[in-house]
Amino acid sequence: MKNLLLSKKLRITDFRLAILDIFNRYENSISTEQIENELGKFDRITLYRTLKIFKENGIIHEITMPGNIKKLALCASQCSEHHHEHKHIHFHCNTCEEVYCVEVPAFPEIGLTGFKVENLEIQANGICQNCG
Between strands 60-65 and 99-103, the pairing is unpaired
Domain count, the chain: 1
Residue 59 resides in a domain: yes
Report how far residue 88's alpha carbon sits from residue 85's, in angstroms, rounded to the nearest whole number: 9
Burial class, 26, CB count within 10 angstroms (exposed 0-12 / middle 13-18 / buried 19+): middle
Residue 131 resides in a domain: no
Name the residue range of residue 65's domain: 2-126
State which amino acid sits at residue 56.
Answer: E
Residue 108 resides in a domain: yes
The count of other CB atoms within 10 Å of the CB of residue 71 is: 23
- pLDDT tens by residue, 36-93: 999 988 899 999 999 999 998 889 988 887 778 789 988 866 566 656 566 678 888 8
Question: Rounded to two decimals, what is the model's pTM?
Answer: 0.77
